[in-house]
Structure 1
């Protein structure tokens, strides 16, 4: 046998040996190494079911026209999204238990329908978040809008993060919008698009209600997101959510202190037998490590009530 033929023989024999070993190795792979879920597995998605729509649903007593196909389908979409987005929806329940009592009382005092607490819920999840557009707080208020409705916003203080004062400001907007439209569904949509934007859309399309408008995707979904969350909150078990009340976040219990002089917040927290972190949690409107207070000015600070 020539050297070249011998080398070819060795190469072929090595390749055959490798293929045999690989084949046998795959045959002996333990079951635990196989994929947990094959794409064609008929059992993989049996827990996901379509959700029946309610026979009727309303926002602040104004019924959504579910006999219109696209209205029904838009509600259908938001109900499925929020029902199967379990981790997000569960935490909405947890935080709502802490903050809804505060919001509900302010809405009632201002004559705003109770359903508008769900507007705050879809805006921020009741977290003091900031949006890419510069909106902030539970009600996602822009700086210009906040100042227009009496909120203090500067280096030291941003009352868009104040749970009570921001809710009061939102109520002022909602009342003004209702004075303009006389319809709570349009009021809710205007919170997303703006009063001028909603009026322009109504005038341009020559209709008089939200459900007949062709709108941008965000505003088109907006009211349906509120309706879906309201429906799920009113009947959580119908949407696969088992909410244990013991797991919900409890409302904060406050004591209050009035400060009238410029203050270092770290030292203040130490003096009040708490921490700077806790002080900021209870007063998210505080924006810096200290605050400058002018003559005849004062701030009410919330502190944890140890009693």
Structure 2
């Protein structure tokens, strides 16, 4: 929306000629009054979209901890991330739509581990909720594991199968990893710093700088920015209309709903055998199973993600498929 749109609305509301109503025209008058109220609401919305003052609270809360923005140095760090993000309105709109797409899936996984709901904003900060994301440091997937950390945390990583891209396995692994870091450091912000920079670097900083206050630690610049970026994303996405960013419900992406099954493959088969069992194209299958990196599955066990509405069909078809079976839970 632009200032031109706002001016047109003002002109329509205040300067267009009003008809003279005779007795018995009550219905028309009532309808016109309703239209005026709609225009007033639209004007208020457009004003919010054009307002660049971006007033936020003096205290932002992340993981139930207050970030005190009355302290100038902390406020400067927060504002750096906040303004860089909020001014990229196209990006924020995409992130908002992805947030609604992934929210149900991520909230379910987070709740199943009794983890903090703010972890959804960690995933947004890590990959912008793009499960195909790869960083310049070769961190990959929704939660941006590097190969070494992924393997240490129990993910299978090789040329044919890379579970850093498995949206279910990577999510569960990341949540468990962060929970262990929280237990180790006794602080959510330090745990996030360790997730970003590595536990060894954060432990070294604590030992040598004689403080456990995240905001008092001198850390790599990216790690100092990382926690503030998560806080800024939470503030903007949770209050997007306050900052003039709107999404229409009809334009939202379909909510992601998948169920994971474990397959036992007894001899090499084409991946299309599995996608056909789901009734999906190869691309649609790969979009949900990015961790399957080749056109054939070798003999072995595999976690496979299935659209919830196709689970019954998939299980029935697999039961009829030679050399493949579902592993019983």
Q: Could you state the TM-score of these two structures normalised by the residue count of structure 2? A: 0.73
C-alpha separation in 1, matches of 2:123 and 2:261: 28
- 1:269–1:223: structure 2 CA closer, same or farther, 3 Å change rule? same
Instruction: Give 1:270 deviation, angstroms.
Output: 4.3
1:291 maps to what in 2?
Answer: 297
Instruction: Give 1:299 deviation, angstroms.
Output: 3.8
Between Structure 1 and Structure 2, whose CA radius of gyration is higher?
A: 1
C-alpha separation in 2, matches of 1:290 and 1:143: 22
C-alpha separation in 1, matches of 2:237 and 2:160: 37
2:140 maps to what in 1?
Answer: 136
C-alpha separation in 1, matches of 2:112 and 2:273: 37
1:82 maps to which of 64, 80, 85: 85
Instruction: Give 1:267 deviation, angstroms.
Output: 4.7
2:288 maps to which of 246, 258, 282: 282
Instruction: Give 1:151 deviation, angstroms.
Output: 1.0
- 1:77–1:287: structure 2 CA closer, same or farther, 3 Å change rule? same
Which deviations, in whole Å up to 9, do the C-alpha atoms of 1:152-198 show, x marking residues without a partner?
11222111111111011111211111111111111112111111111
- 1:270–1:180: structure 2 CA closer, same or farther, 3 Å change rule? closer
C-alpha separation in 2, matches of 1:197 and 1:132: 20
Residue 169 of structure 1 aligns to a residue in which SS?
helix
Structure 1 residue 221 corresponds to structure 2 residue 222:
no
- Note if contact 1:112-1:174 (Cα within 8 Å) is conserved in structure 2: no
1:241 maps to what in 2?
Answer: 245
C-alpha separation in 2, matches of 1:255 and 1:132: 31
Runs of 4+ deviating beyond 6 Å: none
1:177 maps to what in 2?
Answer: 181
Instruction: Give 1:268 deviation, angstroms.
Output: 4.1
- Note if contact 1:104-1:114 (Cα within 8 Å) is conserved in structure 2: yes
- 1:208–1:175: structure 2 CA closer, same or farther, 3 Å change rule? same
1:3 maps to what in 2?
Answer: none
Instruction: Give 1:123 deviation, angstroms.
Output: 0.7
2:317 maps to what in 1?
Answer: none
Instruction: Give 1:277 deviation, angstroms.
Output: 0.9
C-alpha separation in 2, matches of 1:298 and 1:238: 45
1:50 maps to which of 44, 50, 53: 53
Q: CA RMSD in A?
A: 2.2
Q: Could you state the TM-score of these two structures normalised by the residue count of structure 1? A: 0.78
1:145 maps to what in 2?
Answer: 149
- Note if contact 2:58-2:68 (Cα within 8 Å) is conserved in structure 1: no
Q: Could you list the runs of 5+ residues in structure 1 that have no partner in the other structure?
A: 1-46
Residue 302 of structure 1 aligns to a residue in which SS?
strand
Instruction: Give 1:140 deviation, angstroms.
Output: 0.1
Residue 235 of structure 2 aligns to a residue in which SS?
helix
- 1:231–1:276: structure 2 CA closer, same or farther, 3 Å change rule? same
1:194 maps to what in 2?
Answer: 198
Structure 1 residue 93 corresponds to structure 2 residue 99:
no
